[in-house]
Each structure stands twice: as structure tokens, then as C-alpha cells.
Structure 1
């Protein structure tokens, strides 16, 4: 199924499949197995490593993981959930999908499970994250594995050597100037890494926050498309020029994973991206820059803050026949106990943070996250999904528009902008083409 077809399926309200009971692990106590689909981020690699000797050992429930890169994951999970195929018992999804799919009746509510677990403590979940996963009925339709905003990461040692100073709250103009001065600080080192890989959740995660703070928006409150507006254009011109002049080589193939590798291996001096990346940068097992990274608020231009709000969450399709077993895994994976397991076995810097207030009170975690923990929490708390820019929006959402069609629209426009990095097109041509697609979407909303 193509992304366009998937988006089309999402628009149509489907009948919910049968959920709960009936499977070989239906009661969550008698062993059996569940099928889990998840994104290939470092935190997911950790849980895959830990599950057999902890969760499966304690419950007898075998977990069959399917792990995919972000863009592939989005296509796969959309196919399965929207078509009611029922191949997976749990999947990692964002707040974007959670809001749309719970309204269609495609997801199992999970509040009944959290309420029944005396140790879970759902009230400990950070309010902005929990609210983004709740339906109008107040129930949770996904449980957060980790939450994130976005911030700027930079090499403190390189800045000191070059006599550069990073402001606590930098502007994008200041970042561009610093990137130019840090470019070439070491052989082969570039000034900054910014995602150029096409995808609404890849390139446009950071780029839409740039659009917001430059005064742009995808749509006005009354659904007027703004993709080739002066503000949107200025933001994209700035972003693509910065990458072409001082960014990573092969930008059109660089997403979250590639930029993480670039900074952790000493190939770039700065990176603007997810706060959740900090744990990997401070992990001696995979990073060459442990202790050398500084952290600053997401860069701004016309707004006070510009960080995004996102979480990767465990959602249960109603089609599962192993609801109790799947819920048992989701509860464990998002629990205080799991955070302790990660800290003790893998290191406290690798704890999947950004979802629980109590995480930031753990002494070992506070020490391990000294340079980024509190800034992560403050960035999440200052993220404003209702008013992320300089004008009112038609939906709630910072780095996305909460309508089914946005996944396809954002991906199409990002594919056009990717051509700017390779010289195949100009920003004006890419955004004029994107404007036409956005106007078609706007007409449907009106």
C-alpha cells in the first residue's frame, strides 16, 4: 500500500476488530507469544536486548520483534492498523497516529490496564505527553515509551578551541554563524547536521519547527494553504542553504540515525534534533564524544521557544487476539521498574526519559543526565502544540498537522525539497509544487 493509499484508508472510519482474549497468550499468564512492531531507534534496540532475560523470564511470554527504520515503520504500521490486518499485537506509534486512530476506533484503550496495576502510577506520566495520547473520554490509547522535545547539541571542546560561545537560547542566525566558524574545525568535520531525508516524520520534524519560528505555517486557521508563503519559503531557504554550505555530505540520505552517527563519531560540530538522542551521545559503548557535548534550547527567530513535542508509544490495535499479554508488555516497557532495569544493566544515561516526572528525581539518572536531563524536561514542558508559531492553527500539533492527509502531504513536499540538496530543483519550484498539493488537502478540510 502506498503512502497515499494509506492516507486514504485513514480518512474512512473503519469498524473495530475483535480485541482481547482468545489467543495463545490471551490471559498474559500462561506464556505464549506476542508480535511487536517497532521503530529502529536506540531505545528500542535496548528493550529488544533486555526482554528475554527480564520480561519473558518473569511472564513466560515470548516477544517477537519486527524492527524497521522510521519511514518503513510508518508505512508498515499504517497498513496493518488501518486495514485491520491484525498481524501485530503492539506497535510503536506517535501521538499523531494515536489521535487519529483512536477516533476511528482502531486502538484498544489502555487505561483499564493502568488502573488495574497498582504499581504503574499513570499520574506520574508527564501531563503534555499523557494528554497527547488521551481520547475525549479521558482514557489512554497508547502508553509512552519515551517522550521528547528538540534541542541543539554541540561539541563543547570544539567551541572552546575555536573561541566560540553557544547562547543558552540561540537564534537560528546565531546557529548559522557558529556552523560556519566550526566548519572544518577538525579534518572532515562539518559545522552542523540537519535532517534531509524525505519523510513527514524525518525531514519535516525539525524543518517544521524552523517554519513555525520563522512565522510560517502549513495552513491558516481557516485552512488556507501556506506552503509557498514568504515565511515558509524563507525558512526552507535558510534550512537548505545552511545544510548545503556547512552541513553533512549526502544530506538527502541523512535522517535521525545518520545525524546521530555523525555527531557521536566526531564528524559534525552541531546537531539540532530530538532530546532523546542525548542518551546515545553519552553512552561510552557507542559514542566517541561522551562528556564533550553541550546542550542548548531549540533555536528560534520570531518565537520564544520552538521545540517540538513527540513521543514513541506502545499502541494496541483492536485486532489483537492477545490483548492481556500485549498490555502486560506495554505496562512493563513504560514502567518505573523498566527504567531501573535499563539504568542498572545498560547505564543511566540510556534510560528512556521524557515520560515520567519521577525519572528526574532518580539520583543516578540526575547524575548521568546532568547536562541534558533538566533541559529535556523544560523543553517538553515549554512545547506548545496549540500555539507553536506566530498565528492560530487549524489543528493541534507542532511539527505536524493532525489530519490523516498530512502524512502523505508532508512526505511529498519533503521529497521535493530533497531535490534542492542534490541540485535537481529550487526551493521555489519545490514549494510551488507543494502548495498545489496543500491546496487540495485544504479543499477537503473546508
Structure 2
């Protein structure tokens, strides 16, 4: 659900050489139609989350300061909490307090707190989208890690996506693109050959040949759950690959254009023919479980999934998965997405110096080495640093997929992700405040088409009207 406030277009400054994230005709000052009453209702509507604490060394002369970290409940972030005891031992003047939340709850809680000044949390886990939008609004502190942190070691797309006017506004914990994952054993059995960068038509042919419901195998599994970070993340890469975009240079939505019709039509057809039943409820976690259980022949999703597919302790298909770049159509531009979970410090942090010290440690090469030493190279966060992919230990642990993952990340340019010129930054999103509302609404219409409640044409016509209304209301044209 979108938050009960609207961010009006502000005078957003684009980085030198980058395309602007604002209407060319100028923008009104930002209007925040969010009252304290609405905030109280929002925060009261969720049960309180109790911070996790454990005994720590204390300094009687100077008690440690509390640094509150709001983060998402995924495997890498849970590992960060385990590893953070090392940070506290090395920094006895800092005590970490963790709030671990499900992704949608995290977004809502953090957005509300940052909008109010950010004093509730000292460190927030956010994505590339929030980094760009909130950073340009002045809600995040610019970060300058120490020289040993090695900013030049960041993968170019990640560094670019987290920088505003050349300064980092969040530090990356792990990053990802998207790629195609497929069952090599099934492909061999059905004489399927997939090149390093297949086309969506080749994918459709492969899915039809490997689809075998009698064996409990679906030809293809794709995200169906509605949301700008759920089904729309995948669909937008399909739209890009078919030559489409979110908005033209006049900020007019293009949701009912021919590239959208081709991409969404193919998506719905694939899922109805060869996808699992009830696909409109599936997102990353559900599809990861399906693929690990051997229920999917082909899956196009986050590169970060590969390490879980190759884990023999939890995956029935470990050692039997092949990896290619995300499929193209008329172009490969924007065919794979770009995302990162990052650590940022809101401007209202009560302990900014301590918070900056923690996020620099958690995103450092030293942290990667610590995880490798204590948990093994298969457990390290990936997708952010070139040095990780050069480590022989990581190459051995991730031999099945690390090269494909790096190729996918190197293939992305978030400032040039569409064939027609676009006024926004982002691959599978547009870095403007209004995008969340639009992305959710469009995702819901497409999910309804997937469920058979309306046609693709009806879904895109309705989505276009909703997008136009939102952009007009916000003053873009």
C-alpha cells in the first residue's frame, strides 16, 4: 500500500552529465500533505517491534551511545547482525540496537520516520530508489568513508546509482542485477540451447519444451505479485527490452504504448501457458522456494538468488542450474535490473558520527573478509565490490554463477536504460517521488490481467489513465 502522503516534485538537481529527474518546465516547491494525526495513525497501526539487545562491554567513564539500525529481514542482513558483535568489541563506545522488519513494513516505517526528520533511526536500510529520491530532497547525509574503505573498488553501476552530485548518500551492503536461471538437466533432456543473452522468444520456446506438469515442473516462473518492487521490477525490464519506457521526455506516461503491449502480452501469455497456478501471488521468496524444490525449469529474477540455488543444504537443484544474462527483445538495453540494499544515515540521526562509523564498517572490504573467515566465501554479500569477484576463494565457492553475476552487473547503466531518451534515472523504476504510487497501481492492473479478471489491453488502458492522473496532479505537465 502507498503511504498516506504525496511528495510533490521539488527542484531536483541532476548530476552533471546525467538526465534530469525533474520536469523541464520547472517544479513547484515540495508539498507534504501529511499531518501528525495521520502519522500517529500510521505508526499506531502496527504492533511495536522490540529491539534486540545482548550484553556488551561498557565504559564506566563514558557509557556507549545507542545506534538504532532499521533493517530488512533477509539472510544477508541477519548475518550482519551476527557479525556486528565484532564491530561492538572494536568500538565499545557504540551499542547497536536492531529493528528487523519485513520489507514492506520496513519501507513504510522508515519513510515515515525520515519524513519526520529521521530521529527515530540512526541507520536505515534503503534501496537505490530511495537513495536517489530522498538524497535529492536533502533527507540523507552525504557520506565520505575513510580512504581505506576504497570507494574506487565499487562496481560502476552501484557507485553511480548511490551518488548525487558525485557524493555517496548511502553505502552498499549488497547489490544485484537480474539474470536467467534454468535447469541444465532438463534443457539437455529436451534438447534446449540457451545462448549467453537469449531473446524472450527463445525463452518462450524453451519454456514450452521443458514444461511438464505431470512431473511437477513448470516451464517458467516469473514474479506475479503486484508491486513496484515485485511484478513491476521484472515487467519493466521486459518493457525496456521491447524498446519501451516509463515516461517520454515531456514526462508523459507511455504505459499503453506498443512496447508495453508487446512486453506485457508476452508476460501474461507465458505465465498462463507455462507458469505455476496462482502466480499472481508469487514474488521472489515464493519463486526461490519453487525453484529450489525443482518446480521451475526457467526463472528470471535477482542474481542474488544463485547462491541459494547452489546451496546443497537447502536446494534440490544445486549443481544443475545454468545462468545467462537477462533476455533481450529488440534491444539488450535495460534488459536486466539494478538494485542494492544500502545503509544510509538520515539527517535527523541522534548519533550521526557513530552511525557513519558503523555503515562504513558494514559495507567495507574488511567486513567481506570477516564473513568469509567466519562463515565461508559462499556467505559473503556480493554485487558491490570488484575485489570480491577477484578473490580466489569466492571464485571457487561461487564457481557456478559468479562470472554470470558480474557480467549482468557490468551490463547496466542506470542513466541510459531505454532506447528512447528518458528524463529519469533508473532501470526498473523512475527515480521520482510519484513513482511508487504509479508503480503500485500499474502492477495491480497487470496482476488482474494475469489472474484473468481483465484483458492486457484493458489493464494497460486503465494503468495509463492512472499514471496520467498522478503526473498531472503532481504538476509535471
- Check if 1:413 corresponds to 2:442: yes
Q: Which residue of 1 aligns with 2:87?
A: 55
- Check if 1:209 corresponds to 2:240: no
Assess, with a 3 A threshold, how the Cα gap between structure 1 residues 62 and 264 changes in structure 2: closer, same or farther: farther
Q: Which residue of 1 aligns with 2:192?
A: 164
How far apart in 1 are the matches of 2:249 and 2:406?
A: 29
Count the aligned residue pairs.
426
Deviation at 1:194, TM superposition (A): 0.8
Does the CA-based 8 Å contact 1:6-1:82 persist in structure 2?
A: no
Moved over 4 A (4+): none
- Write out aligned runs for 1:275-294 (5 A): 275-294=303-322
Does the CA-based 8 Å contact 1:188-1:267 persist in structure 2?
A: yes
Does the CA-based 8 Å contact 1:95-1:311 persist in structure 2?
A: yes
How far apart in 2 are the matches of 1:73 and 1:268?
A: 30
Deviation at 1:85, TM superposition (A): 4.7
How far apart in 2 are the matches of 1:171 and 1:121?
A: 37
Assess, with a 3 A threshold, how the Cα gap between structure 1 residues 221 and 377 changes in structure 2: closer, same or farther: same
Deviation at 1:424, TM superposition (A): 2.0
Q: Which residue of 2 aligns with 1:104?
A: 137
Deviation at 1:10, TM superposition (A): 8.0
- Check if 1:154 corresponds to 2:182: yes
Moved more, 92-101 or 82-91: 82-91
Deviation by residue 1:318-371 (Cα, 9 ceiling, x = unmatched): 111111222222112111121122223333123211111111111100112223
- Write out aligned runs for 1:111-122 (5 A): 111=144, 114-115=145-146, 118-122=147-151
Q: Which residue of 1 aligns with 2:250?
A: 222
How far apart in 2 are the matches of 1:204 and 1:106?
A: 26
How far apart in 2 are the matches of 1:211 and 1:428?
A: 15
The structure 1 residue matched to 2:105, chosen from 68, 72, 86, is 72
Aligned-pair Cα RMSD in Å: 2.1
- Write out aligned runs for 1:300-339 (5 A): 300-305=328-333, 306-339=335-368
Q: What TM-score do the two structures reach when normalised by structure 1?
A: 0.90
Assess, with a 3 A threshold, how the Cα gap between structure 1 residues 339 and 284 changes in structure 2: closer, same or farther: farther
- Check if 1:199 corresponds to 2:227: yes
Assess, with a 3 A threshold, how the Cα gap between structure 1 residues 223 and 10 changes in structure 2: closer, same or farther: closer
More helix by share: 1
Does the CA-based 8 Å contact 1:125-1:355 persist in structure 2?
A: yes
Assess, with a 3 A threshold, how the Cα gap between structure 1 residues 73 and 240 changes in structure 2: closer, same or farther: farther
Deviation by residue 1:148-167 (Cα, 9 ceiling, x = unmatched): 11110111122222222222
- Check if 1:140 corresponds to 2:195: no
How far apart in 2 are the matches of 1:365 and 1:436?
A: 48
- Check if 1:93 corresponds to 2:126: yes
Deviation at 1:13, TM superposition (A): 7.0
- Write out aligned runs for 1:349-368 (5 A): 349-368=378-397
Deviation at 1:296, TM superposition (A): 0.2
Gaps of 5+ in 2: 11-29, 33-57
Gaps of 5+ in 1: 15-24
